[in-house]
Structure 1
Amino acid sequence: MRVGVNALFSRAATLLLALTADYVFPDHSPDGALRMDLPPECLLSPALTSAFTRWDSAHFLSVTASGWAEHEYSHAFFPMFPLLIRWLAALLAHMLPPLCETELHILAGVLLSNSTFVVAACCLHRLGECVLQDARLARTSALLFCISPASIFFSTVYAESTFAAATFGGMLLLERSYAWAGSVALALATATRANGLLHVLLVAHAGLRRCVQILDAPSPGRRQHAATAVALAGASLSMLLQVLLVVGPYVAWQVATGH
């Protein structure tokens, strides 16, 4: 509970700082930088939205609204985060009908990033407790995560928070021996960012650890040896399928985009 409150407070402080900085300092518009401009019919002031519509945020908002065909480089932005923004924006449209589509996408992206950040911080805390076996060190790790200087990227319309939540959640599930649930979470991370492909190492490590546990278990007698062989084969097959599950979103996206 305490970690969740700290994470919420850090997001509120970060959002306030972002809005204040956007109001106080002049905008920097380098050549080639994409910015999402609000249509004239939108209600919200650009001063409230420009803090969350620059750089990669603009790319995510662009593919959310128009798909991936507009720019070739848009294929670098994996589909999970934009799709979640679309679904959340569709829900918000029923509660906030005066807002235009662009405003709904911005609001959905900011809400999604900040809410998944809180989930990520809580998962990191629980993961620290499991791995470190030190409650104080686990809380400190989660707190440092909340106050990182790069924290702004977890509060704007970037995929970092969603990726972190899926990654820490998957690692926590693997640590608690929920291999399939953990693999699904890590597969969602792969569908969010390309570097999620590296999570196959986590799944393979968990699977190999399970195989070692089976081999280390005492198994006197021929029947027990046969049972051990069957269990080892099953664990190996499960590990292979879980690795393929994590790799799957990356391969599917490359095929879908023609790479």
Structure 2
Amino acid sequence: MNSYIKKLTIITVLTKAVILAVIWAGYYLVPFNVPAHYANFIYPIGEPVSLASAFKTWDANHYLYLADAWYSPYHISNAFYPLFPFLVRVVGSLTFGNNLVAGLILSTTFTVLSVVYLFRLIGKTHGEEVAYRSCLMLLAFPTSFYLGLVYTESLFLMLALMLLYYLRENKTTPSFICAFLLPLTRPTGILVIVPALAAILPCLRAKESFELKKLLTPAGFVAGYGTYLLLMDLSTGDPFAGFDAQKVFLANNSLLNLLHPIDWFLNNFVYLDFTLNGFSTSILNRVFFVFYAVVAVLSYKKLDKTMFAYLLVMGLVPAMTGSLTSYMRYVAMAFPLFVYLAIKLRGRMAYCYLIPCALVQVVFVLVHASSRWIA
């Protein structure tokens, strides 16, 4: 095993262990927001607040519900995608039915694999030193703690990185599998078809080197999305039940908003009564968006076309389809951000990013686990 990969694996596992320890300690040190807890969906229904509640706040309850009960007509949890709860249910059979433990084990495993594939991918394009720092930048990012919780972030990031890595290695079968699974993981899974096409298009132009099997990867996205719609139809009687359920949530995202960028800007940055971190009025979410936008502009000449395309769709679409709700969490999936930072920040400058971000992450963990805030 590469010495960098061995070191990163240890760092990742220790980081996730520290996050879980902070949640455990935070439950006893930070008063739990009981009203917010009961105002949201709880599973099991009506379960009293306990230490376990700190490990499964907010969306985690939906994934645990789906792992047990699956989809049903008109249920709010239909808004969430099926791959992660399915895997939780499978692994839960090995944890004596404790799906919370199963979810935490899966997320930690997926995070380790995400870091490994990020290192491998960036090592090919920018060298091992930059790849190593990229991984550290990712782990330190203020909302990267979600990678170790019962959320889909770690699964999504792992599949996206594996897809781009196997495309670069010209390995069709694993890239097809990743393409198939991404639309079953998160709503933004289908968007990864854009960087996938960016990787394939040069081969299409160079007809002498093009192989028909390369088209299997974009076909995988279509097949995966079709499978999602079929699964929802079989489970709820309506292939679009997930979209209807998403309308219940405050974010109320819509692709149609992309057609009105000026209205989007005015509604999100001008005609708004800002709060520190309200669901749709958060100053923090807007600060993170500005950070993303600046890095995206600066990184244009530093990243190849595939990674830059990924950076654009994973940073812009989640922002411009709605009210920037939860943007701090979504932008962590735009991993080329960390590649650019790793290129520019070296030595002591890297620590000027890593240390403050890690400290902010601890604060975010505490307020999230106490049911006071969700990114």
What's the TM-score once normalised by structure 2's chain length?
Answer: 0.56
Aligned to 1:50: 53
Tell me the matched-pair count.
226
Shift of 1:210: 2.2
Q: Once structures 1 and 2 are overlaid, which stretch shifts more, 64-73 or 15-24?
A: 64-73
CA distance in 1, matches of 2:215, 2:117: 26
Shift of 1:254: 2.2
1:26-54 deviation per Cα after TM superposition (whole angstroms, max 9, x unaligned):
112326312234999xxxx931x112222
The 1:89/1:120 distance shift into structure 2, 3 A limit, reads same
Aligned to 1:147: 140
Q: What letter corresponds to residue 168 of structure 1 in structure 2?
A: L
CA distance in 1, matches of 2:148, 2:201: 36
Aligned to 1:32: 39
Q: What letter corresponds to residue 42 of structure 2 in structure 1?
A: R
The correspondence for 1:185, drawn from 178, 184, 188, is 178
Matched, 1:119 2:113: yes
Contact 1:85 1:109 in 2 (8 A): yes
Q: What letter corresponds to residue 101 of structure 2 in structure 1?
A: L
CA distance in 2, matches of 1:64, 1:6: 30
Contact 1:194 1:250 in 2 (8 A): no
The 1:175/1:241 distance shift into structure 2, 3 A limit, reads closer
Contact 1:18 1:152 in 2 (8 A): no
The correspondence for 2:84, drawn from 81, 85, 88, is 81
CA distance in 1, matches of 2:187, 2:124: 27
3-state SS, counterpart of residue 72 of structure 2 = coil
The 1:198/1:209 distance shift into structure 2, 3 A limit, reads same
CA distance in 2, matches of 1:156, 1:71: 26
Q: What letter corresponds to residue 34 of structure 1 in structure 2?
A: F
CA distance in 2, matches of 1:197, 1:54: 27
Higher relative contact order (CA 8 A, sep 6+): 2
Shift of 1:124: 0.7
Aligned to 2:221: 246
Shift of 1:119: 0.7
CA distance in 2, matches of 1:74, 1:118: 28
Identity, in percent, stands at 23
Aligned to 1:210: 203
3-state SS, counterpart of residue 78 of structure 1 = coil
CA distance in 2, matches of 1:190, 1:91: 26
Aligned to 1:63: 66
Unaligned runs of 5+ in 1: 94-100, 216-227
1:185-207 deviation per Cα after TM superposition (whole angstroms, max 9, x unaligned):
13222211121101111322222
Q: What letter corresponds to residue 110 of structure 1 in structure 2?
A: L
Contact 1:191 1:249 in 2 (8 A): yes
Aligned to 2:167: 174
Higher Cα radius of gyration: 1
CA distance in 2, matches of 1:34, 1:156: 17
Aligned to 1:218: none
Q: What letter corresponds to residue 106 of structure 2 in structure 1?
A: L
Contact 1:204 1:239 in 2 (8 A): no
CA distance in 2, matches of 1:249, 1:34: 28
CA distance in 2, matches of 1:17, 1:250: 37
Q: What letter corresponds to residue 125 of structure 1 in structure 2?
A: F
Matched, 1:165 2:170: no
CA distance in 2, matches of 1:74, 1:38: 13
The correspondence for 2:28, drawn from 16, 19, 23, is 23
1:205-245 deviation per Cα after TM superposition (whole angstroms, max 9, x unaligned):
22222234x44xxxxxxxxxxxx4xx64xx3x434432121
Matched, 1:5 2:4: no
Contact 2:175 2:217 in 1 (8 A): no
Q: What letter corresponds to residue 75 of structure 1 in structure 2?
A: N
